[in-house]
Amino acid sequence: MELPKEIFKKYLSFNEKLYNFFVTITGLTIFNWEILKQIFIPPYEISEVKKHMNELGVKTFPIVSVTGFVIGLVIVMQSEPVFVRFGASDYLPGATAISIVRELAPVITALIFAGRVSSGIGAELGSMRVTEQIDAMEVSAINPFKYLVVTRVIATTMILPILTIYVIFLSIIGGFIALTISQGMNFEYYKNAVVTSVTFGDLIPSISKTFVFGYIVGIVGSYKGYIADGGTEGVGRASTTAVVLASLIILLFDTVLVKISLMIWPL
Amino acid sequence: MAVVELIKIENLSKAFGNKVILDNISLNVYQGENLVVFGQSGTGKSVLLKCIIGLLKPDSGNILIKGKSVVNISNKDLNEIRKNTGFLFQGAALYDSMTVRENLEFPLKRHSKISDDEAYEKVVNTLDLVSLKDAVDKMPSELSGGMKKRIGLARSIITDPEIMFYDEPTTGLDPISSKEISELILDLQKKLKMTSIIVTHDLNCAHIISDRNIFLKDGKIAYKGKIEELSKSDDKFLKNFFSNEIIH
Ligand SMILES: Nc1ncnc2c1ncn2[C@@H]1O[C@H](COP(=O)(O)OP(=O)(O)OP(=O)(O)O)[C@@H](O)[C@H]1O
Ligand SMILES: [Mg+2]
């Protein structure tokens, strides 16, 4: 796999920022292409994928649990006075549930996941790169891209939707608890309100986009780590730039995907 | 025995940016020999090894291993060649998420159908060669620099490769371990008919193992020959180089 550093160096060396921007975009595109090409070629390294999924799950479970619960709690606490003011308190459970399902849970979970995971992958692969572990794999005739990158990207892509569903569930519980405290909400009533207002047209696009977000977290972290150079400093750089880049790309894709999903499932 | 050129380097050049590291180098390595590469720090010894194994792409020139060019080669064919070679990295490059045992089993289990018991036996035997049998369940982070080096060596020879590349196998080791490792390298050559290129600064090691030596200087092969000849040379650079030598 040939990465584009040299190509752009010739033409863009006059502007380093612009040069770096183009290198990253092209690099990610090539990386993406390479992943899609290799994902279907055996060996599938299933045990590696499982191992990474396990690790990611364990690593993000606590922070994601707290987040999920707090999102629900806070969004209901914030919205309640507003709904009361407009005389619409009946709609409170349904409306907050919809905003949680459609936007808050997927995006916030993805951003937290990016912060925790893409930096971790960037540091892991970055240190493997600078200590020549990736080269060592290559000279033992093992495809390091497949073994290290593809397996991680599959794992992040699979695990984020699961986490998001879990966060949605917890936030809705959090919302219920806020309402119980403030107005002694009945659980049956709350459950019915939520279930009748949230439709498949809310759930499907929102869960689908988390596959994309998971993929972004995996590919950006891996890319930054895989191309790291310059010793320990390079590892640090890989890890921090991965978070920033992954978060930005997630928000960018969110905007695009929301637009597309509104065209497919109009409200 | 007929002399076979196992590795043939033809007019190899490699630069990073505008800094020329290797400048039009040609070199043959013959089957069964130990070729030692000397050179001051930063002259491109590691770069040379990495070019031969295909980790770095030369800017020009060609490298043939057993008659096959590794410069223009498919990944599949390159991997076939790599399965028959071992590479000890200067920094050992142990996989830090794996135990010593897993490090050694990794290349072993992936390229041959071998039972768990057989693999474990092989791991223990190979670790015994570098006198580190007790480290089998340790993590790399628990090992000293010299231990890492020796585990790295064990990992690279565990597949019984035909060709070995050693990047400073004895650097950072105490004199006794250095001697042991040098003798191990010699042993591998004698018993397994291994062909090796050894980068080293260790003259004692070179005395024990080398059949032939080359000096890299300013991107070129400045000197070559047997160590006895080189050490008696009147050349100023060589005299200076060998004057620091301790002979046992
Ligand atoms: N990937 C790289 N990118 C840019 N420059 C490099 C790269 N690898 C090596 N170099 C440069 O090439 C030169 C030769 O490096 P090399 O590692 O081969 O030296 P060496 O002879 O092995 O030295 P030592 O004895 O210290 O290990 C050095 O000046 C180094 O800075
Ligand atoms: Mg070196």
Each residue's pLDDT tens digit, A68-87 = 999 999 999 999 999 999 98
Mean predicted lDDT score pLDDT of chain A: 92
| pLDDT tier for residue A89 given thresholds of 50, 70 and 90 | confident
**Which chain A residues are Cβ-neighbours of B141 within 8 angstroms?**
none
In this structure, is residue A109 part of a structural domain?
yes
pLDDT exceeds 70 at position A6: no
A185: alpha, beta or left? (left if phi > 0; alpha if psi -120 to 50): beta
Q: Which tens digits make up the pLDDT trace of A95-110?
A: 999 999 999 999 999 9
Residues in B 134-193 with any Cβ partner in A closer than 8 A = 159
In this structure, is residue A9 part of a structural domain?
no
Distance from CA of A85 to the nearest CA of B (A): 57
In this complex, the residue of A124, A135, A143 whose CB is nearest that of residue B93 is: A135
How far apart, in whole angstroms, are the C-alpha atoms of residue A40 and residue A34? 11
Q: Which tens digits make up the pLDDT trace of A164-223?
A: 999 999 999 999 999 999 888 899 999 999 999 999 889 999 999 999 999 999 999 999
pLDDT exceeds 70 at position A11: no
Domain that holds residue A100: 51-264
Contacts 24+ apart (CB under 8 A), A253-259: A253/A209, A253/A212, A253/A213, A253/A216, A254/A106, A254/A107, A254/A110, A254/A209, A254/A213, A257/A205, A257/A208, A257/A209, A257/A212, A258/A103, A258/A209
How far apart, in whole angstroms, are the C-alpha atoms of residue A143 and residue A41? 11
How far apart, in whole angstroms, are the C-alpha atoms of residue B105 and residue A43? 17
Name the domain count of chain A. 1
Phi, psi torsion values for B215, nearest 5 degrees: -110, 125
In this structure, is residue A229 part of a structural domain?
yes
How far apart, in whole angstroms, are the C-alpha atoms of residue B244 and residue B246? 7
In this structure, is residue A19 part of a structural domain?
no
Residue B16: what pLDDT?
93
Which residues surround the ion ligand 2 when the cut-off is CB under 5 Å? Answer: B 46, 90
Question: For residue B47, which atom of ligand 1 is closest to its CA?
Answer: 18
Q: Considering the entire predicted model, what is its pTM?
A: 0.90
Residue A20: what pLDDT?
82
Residue whose C-alpha is closest to residue B31's, from B66, B60, B58: B66
Residue whose C-alpha is closest to residue B129's, from B191, B193, B37, B200: B191
The answer to whether B198 and B169 have CB atoms below 8 angstroms apart is: yes
Measure Cα distances from A1 to A27, A60, A93, A152 in Å.
10, 32, 52, 18
In this complex, the residue of B55, B96, B106 whose CB is nearest that of residue A139 is: B55
C-alpha B36 to ligand 2 mean position (Å) = 13
Query: Does the beta carbon of B200 lie inside 6 Å of ligand 1?
Result: no
In this structure, is residue A164 part of a structural domain?
yes
In this structure, is residue A15 part of a structural domain?
no
Which pair of structure tokens corresponds to residue A61? Answer: 């479970």
Domain spans, chain B: 1-84+165-243, 93-160
Which pair of structure tokens corresponds to residue B232? Answer: 């008696």
Question: Does residue B218 or residue A19 have the better pLDDT?
Answer: B218
Residue whose C-alpha is closest to residue B132's, from B147, B116, B115: B147
Which residue's structure tokens are 């629900």?
A72
Phi, psi torsion values for B7, nearest 5 degrees: -125, 130
pLDDT exceeds 60 at position B1: no
pLDDT exceeds 80 at position A227: yes
Complex ipTM over 0.90: yes
Which residue's structure tokens are 């509104």?
A262
Residue in chain B lying closest to A136 (CA):
B93
In this structure, is residue A94 part of a structural domain?
yes
**Which chain B residues are Cβ-neighbours of A138 within 8 angstroms?**
55, 82
| Class in CATH terms, B1-84+165-243 | alpha beta
